[in-house]
Structure 1
Amino acid sequence: MNNAKAITFGIQHLLAMYAGAILVPLIIGGALGFNTEQMTYLVAIDILMCGIATLLQVWSGKFVGIGLPVVLGCTFTALTPIITIGHSAGIGAIYGAIIASGAIIVLISGFFGKLVKFFPPVVTGSVVSIIGISLLPTAITNFGGGVADAPDFGSTTNLLLGFTALITIIVIYRFTTGFMRAISILMGIIVGTVLGMILDVVDFTPVKEAGWLHMVQPFYFGAPEFHLEPIITMTLVAMVSLVESTGVYHALSDICKKPIGSKDLAKGYRAEGLASIIGGIFNAFPYTTYSQNVGLVQITGVKERKVIFITGGMLVILGFLPKAAALTQIIPTPVLGAAMIAMFGTVITQGMKMLAPEINKSMENALIVACAVGLGVGVSIVPEVFKNLPETLSILFANGIVTGSITAIALNIVFNMIGRSKTETALNTMSQSDTVKR
């Protein structure tokens, strides 16, 4: 493949993942009250780190990298935990938890395959569903304008912008295929923003004030702080992401006709852990494989790692350009909310897709899901329910993700592992592996 074609395919991969990459820092920065300068840095460093994480994963070294054409971005499963930690323990605790969870993943990468049995689809699907559902209030609030008690919340202009973006996403996804479908959310954001410019509600001040070039710096938002509850939360999130990544690795292995073994998986896990450590140091986020780019590999038939190296390189370059990052801040809040509804809805449906065969398999699994999702979402809405527990436990279980995860893991052990014969356990593990691969 010549360089011109490789660059073209590299740009396709960048566009396919770009909406997801910029939404995460925009949502987190907005929820934590970052100013314009901080938001610009947060978006820029996230884009840069997406590139570094991708390069770490594509490069097949002795200890790091799965060596498959995979693109990495910040996992949406980390959104709610990061925002919750930020509000309860501060920004330093966010990055301390990200660094610590990344280090834990690196340490357990060699034998994580043995821990996967504790994270079957009935567990991971429950966790993913809890995360997606808990994110919806943020999406709807943004859809209406961003501040629920603002005079213009739910105004005609805000709803017009939001519905225009959402309808654009739906129409493109319905009537196109391949690459255009893969960038439907990005196109919805662009169309909604253009309408915002026509209606004169777009502010270009962040772009004007941003510089053309900047240097990144470690601990830009402050030194990391290490607290038990945030670390446990982010480690659970990281493990769920690894289970999802395992499915992506196997899917790409089949597409590329490149068999992978336990050592390859360990290198892939290690790359994600290392990316999280670096991300925490530079005040970015934990990273995971992006399935939309796997779909693009399958659609185009282009499997060369050279293309993904180019994508990673372009992301790194963009990360040093503040004006490129500042462009994301001109997106009207209702348009951002529309994109969030589509993205978070996808997270929920992904969880449902994982859970559907498990619920049909047995009533025990249905009860596991009912209790895990019920407690997880319930605690996310009413975290005060555990306020009378000892302080350590109340802090831990006030987090809906942790409560739901622990509930799902514990009930899966009770119903599906204790008292089962080795043959049943082996068959169940094989079934879970097949589900992940699909």
Structure 2
Amino acid sequence: MVSSTTARRRHAVDEVLPVPKLAAYGFQHVLAFYAGAVLVPILVANALGLSTEQLIHLINADLFTCGIASIIQSVGFGRRWFRFGVKLPLLQGVTFTAVSPMIAIGTAVMAGGGSSIDGLLTIYGSVIVAGLVTIALAPVFVKLLRFFPPVVTGSIILIIGIALIPVAAGDITYGAIGGTNGVVVDASGATVPAPPLDFGLANGGLLLQNLAYAFGTLALILIVQRIFRGFLQTIAVLIGLVVGTLVAFLLGDASFEAVGSSPWFGFVTPFSFGVPQFSITAILSMIVVMLITMVETTGDTYATGEIVGKRIRPADIAAAIRADGLATTLGGVFNSFPYTAFAENVGLVRLTQVRSRWVVTAAGVIMIVLGLFPKAAALVAGIPHPVLGGAALALFGAVAVAGVQTLQKVDFSDHRNSIIVGTTLGLAGLVTAYGAIASAFPAWASILFGSGITLGAITAILLNLLFFHTGGRGSGVAGRPGADLVTLDEVDRMDEAAFARTFGSMVNDSPWVVAAAYARRPFDDATALRAAFQEAILGGSPEQQLELLRSFPDLGSADDREHAYVREHSERGIDSLTDEDLDDAVALSQAYRARFGFPLIVSARDVDRYERVVGAGRSRLANAEAAERATALLEVSKVFTHRFEDAVADANPLSSPFNP
């Protein structure tokens, strides 16, 4: 029997709502995500010239696999350190990051003489392998997040939005523009580069009509977002698509003949288009996409954890990424594409404050059911190209804005960041504006240079490594706010005051620790510098050590929110405890201080669960005073080590001995 205390302490994320509420809230998630979910298969199918029947199958497969992916992420399974799914209300959908690379893969295969189906099968081969690689890389990636700072992720997200805009333009001008800005086939049948901006007006009247549909759809989306609030605002894109398509149908410019000929019910079978084909360049391109989605998933997971009030640990991030990898592999098997958490639905969780993960599970079940009805997919497939293009402009522009928001965190007073962003945008924009460049390279490199997103992502990652993470002894070992990085040579030449300004905050500005470490100069490497501080902490006099211990605030303290120790524990989730558990932690801290005369010190980075911290703290109350002082000093040494590693990692992780 479950006690009332246990029931009361169940986190809101794990609350199972009544079935009617699960269904209603789950359907709301499906509505908010539906337009974005079906947009990717439509864009890919249009770019590869697939038939309406094939598009219907892609939409069904997409919805079906979206449902499975969402259930994996929200329900979760597996052991703690090899777990799939973060068990949060994270709804999964096909990532827009993959659109441009997938189109590049498919069109490259077609330019080489393959059919549209061959292009699709090559996409599926790369998706399957990239999903498996993602599963394998999940625990490694968590340790490599420092290599994806905002200057990298912001640049990548920005170029994703920019590179997708031509796809929207293609839909808007569908049937009214002749020619291509990429490659053309000459009289002999050979594929050759097209002249710049080789667009010819094939039908001026049709172009104006298309523009009217596109701009009308975009205007309606903007009006809904401006006038309405709450739920209607979240489905502005869906409203634009529905109204735009309805107007086109009434004017005779939309057809839904495929709805009548499509069956009511159909199974989504594995490998419906044939056996996947595997290309090294396509696989590498898709792995880059998955690296980007890992960053996106990490951000969405932390954001959702903050919204629902649940602490996110490295193991949780790895579980979320593994779920992405498994869903992506299943996507390749069931004729769909790479998956990631949908940021739109993260916003919906914030808006509604419905935090139960079982709501997303219900949404997953609804999507699986929708994926089994081809008539529903046929209805979506009837959306006119210009209407779709107008909605896509809003979506792709929003992606670019998300990149700009991320770049706001970047310090552009450091010229290195300006170089990284500028070069990344330049190369990505060049390939996006003139895709014919890819034809000048060997086949193995054509996909890399045929996708602005892939080339831009690789450029941002490599330049960040070059400018911030390479070098030897003379490279930075610690960062100072508003100043250049500090090198080992500079550390050895510092006077004690400068040494204290650079490293003092790592030991709560305890002057005797700084002085003892300073006396050990010169330092052969960063390891020797770290060891100097550790030995100083453990080698001080009893009076000095007591002074250092008393420089820490109490665990759970609300009096000094700006103290680094308080912030560290806040970041690790102590603020997310229930009021009752937090009261237990505060009471323990008070009892500990009364017993030993200094606060209970626990290294935040080594905290697994705060319930265990409280239990361990109670057992420490039974220690002898000398033994507990030694234990507390070891915790102080751990706190220093994590702070020092952060400073060294921010400066130069590749040359740091702490980051193999």
Give the structure-1-normalised TM-score.
0.93
The answer to which of 296-305 and 147-156 deviates more is: 147-156
Residue 307 of structure 1, CA deviation: 1.0
User: What is the aligned partner in structure 2 of residue 325 from structure 1?
Assistant: 377
Write out aligned runs for 1:365-380 (5 A). 365-380=417-432
Cα distance, 1:396–1:239 mapped onto 2, change above 3 Å: same
User: What is the aligned partner in structure 1 of residue 41 from structure 2?
Assistant: 25
User: What is the aligned partner in structure 1 of residue 55 from structure 2?
Assistant: 39
Whole-angstrom distance in 1 between the partners of 2:441 and 2:204: 41
User: What is the aligned partner in structure 2 of residue 283 from structure 1?
Assistant: 335
Cα distance, 1:244–1:429 mapped onto 2, change above 3 Å: farther
3-state SS of 1:20 partner = helix
The answer to which of 141-150 and 270-279 deviates more is: 141-150
CA deviation map 1:142-172 (0-9, x unaligned): 2234551342665443232222211110011
Write out aligned runs for 1:97-246 (5 A). 97-149=126-178, 150-151=202-203, 154-246=206-298
Whole-angstrom distance in 1 between the partners of 2:392 and 2:648: 35
The answer to which of 264-273 and 130-139 deviates more is: 130-139
**Residues 1:426 and 2:446 are matched in the alignment:** no
Whole-angstrom distance in 1 between the partners of 2:220 and 2:96: 22
Cα distance, 1:428–1:6 mapped onto 2, change above 3 Å: farther
Whole-angstrom distance in 2 between the partners of 1:73 and 1:114: 25
Whole-angstrom distance in 2 between the partners of 1:319 and 1:143: 27
Cα distance, 1:418–1:33 mapped onto 2, change above 3 Å: same
Q: Which has the higher helix share?
A: 1
Which of 101, 115, 129 pairs up with 1:81? 101
**Equivalent position amino acid for 2:259 in 1:** V
Cα distance, 1:366–1:69 mapped onto 2, change above 3 Å: same
Whole-angstrom distance in 2 between the partners of 1:388 and 1:311: 46
Whole-angstrom distance in 2 between the partners of 1:297 and 1:396: 37
Whole-angstrom distance in 2 between the partners of 1:271 and 1:416: 31
The answer to which of 210-219 and 65-74 deviates more is: 210-219
Whole-angstrom distance in 2 between the partners of 1:396 and 1:162: 31
User: What is the aligned partner in structure 2 of residue 49 from structure 1?
Assistant: 65
Whole-angstrom distance in 2 between the partners of 1:384 and 1:65: 41
Which of 306, 321, 343 pairs up with 1:269? 321
Give unmatched runs, 5+ long, in structure 2.
Answer: 1-16, 110-118, 179-201, 480-644, 652-660
3-state SS of 2:77 partner = coil
Which of 422, 429, 434 pairs up with 1:382? 434
Paired residues of 1:145 and 1:152 also in contact (CA < 8 A): no
Cα distance, 1:142–1:385 mapped onto 2, change above 3 Å: closer
Paired residues of 1:46 and 1:284 also in contact (CA < 8 A): yes
Which of 74, 77, 87 pairs up with 1:67? 87
Cα distance, 1:24–1:429 mapped onto 2, change above 3 Å: farther
Paired residues of 2:331 and 2:337 also in contact (CA < 8 A): yes
Whole-angstrom distance in 2 between the partners of 1:166 and 1:374: 28
3-state SS of 1:39 partner = helix
Whole-angstrom distance in 1 between the partners of 2:361 and 2:101: 31
Whole-angstrom distance in 2 between the partners of 1:173 and 1:430: 40
Cα distance, 1:126–1:187 mapped onto 2, change above 3 Å: same
Whole-angstrom distance in 2 between the partners of 1:218 and 1:357: 43
Paired residues of 2:75 and 2:358 also in contact (CA < 8 A): no
User: What is the aligned partner in structure 1 of residue 486 from structure 2?
Assistant: none
Residue 330 of structure 1, CA deviation: 1.8
Give the number of the structure with larger relative contact order, counting CA–CA contacts within 8 Å between residues 6 or more apart.
1
The answer to which of 136-145 and 403-412 deviates more is: 136-145
Give unmatched runs, 5+ long, in structure 1.
Answer: 432-438
Whole-angstrom distance in 2 between the partners of 1:430 and 1:12: 42
3-state SS of 2:252 partner = coil
Paired residues of 1:220 and 1:283 also in contact (CA < 8 A): yes
3-state SS of 2:340 partner = strand
3-state SS of 1:360 partner = coil
**Equivalent position amino acid for 2:213 in 1:** L
Cα distance, 1:388–1:338 mapped onto 2, change above 3 Å: closer
Paired residues of 1:73 and 1:290 also in contact (CA < 8 A): yes
3-state SS of 1:367 partner = helix
Cα distance, 1:390–1:28 mapped onto 2, change above 3 Å: closer
Cα distance, 1:389–1:300 mapped onto 2, change above 3 Å: closer
The answer to which of 223-232 and 127-136 deviates more is: 127-136
Paired residues of 1:56 and 1:65 also in contact (CA < 8 A): yes
Identity fraction in percent: 39
Cα distance, 1:392–1:112 mapped onto 2, change above 3 Å: same
Whole-angstrom distance in 2 between the partners of 1:161 and 1:155: 10
**Equivalent position amino acid for 1:99 in 2:** I
**Equivalent position amino acid for 2:69 in 1:** A
Paired residues of 1:47 and 1:318 also in contact (CA < 8 A): yes
User: What is the aligned partner in structure 2 of residue 434 from structure 1?
Assistant: none
Whole-angstrom distance in 1 between the partners of 2:31 and 2:330: 24
User: What is the aligned partner in structure 2 of residue 6 from structure 1?
Assistant: 22
**Equivalent position amino acid for 1:13 in 2:** H
User: What is the aligned partner in structure 1 of residue 615 from structure 2?
Assistant: none
Aligned positions, number: 431
User: What is the aligned partner in structure 1 of residue 386 from structure 2?
Assistant: 334
Residue 390 of structure 1, CA deviation: 5.5
**Equivalent position amino acid for 1:125 in 2:** G
Whole-angstrom distance in 1 between the partners of 2:280 and 2:395: 30
- Please identify the structure whose Cα radius of gyration is greater: 2
Paired residues of 1:146 and 1:153 also in contact (CA < 8 A): no
Whole-angstrom distance in 2 between the partners of 1:365 and 1:379: 22
3-state SS of 1:302 partner = coil
Whole-angstrom distance in 2 between the partners of 1:389 and 1:201: 41
Whole-angstrom distance in 2 between the partners of 1:145 and 1:407: 32
Paired residues of 1:141 and 1:147 also in contact (CA < 8 A): no
Residue 311 of structure 1, CA deviation: 0.3
CA deviation map 1:347-404 (0-9, x unaligned): 1111121123325352211110111111122123334446555554455444333322
Give the structure-2-normalised TM-score.
0.63
